[in-house]
Amino acid sequence: MSSALDQRSLFSYDHTIYWPSKYERVVEFLKNGTEVKTNNRSLYKYNVEVIVLAACLGLRENNAIDLPPNSERKEIALSTFNEYKLGIYIYIIPLLGEQKGNVELFRNKDGENTAVSIFQRYAAGGLEILNDRLNTSGHDSPFLFLDDLISSSQGGVIDMDLDIN
Domain range summary for the chain, segments of one domain joined by +: 7-151
**For residue 8, what pLDDT is reported?**
63
Query: What's residue 96's pLDDT?
Result: 92
Compute φ and ψ for 148, nearest 5 degrees. Answer: -65, -40
Task: Count Cβ atoms below 10 Å from residue 44 Cβ, excluding itself.
Answer: 19
The per-residue pLDDT for 149 is 85
Mean pLDDT value across residues 101-122: 86
- Cα separation of 162 and 145, whole Å? 16
Q: What percent of the chain has pLDDT over 90?
A: 51
DSSP 155: T
- Tell me the mean pLDDT in the region 136-151: 84
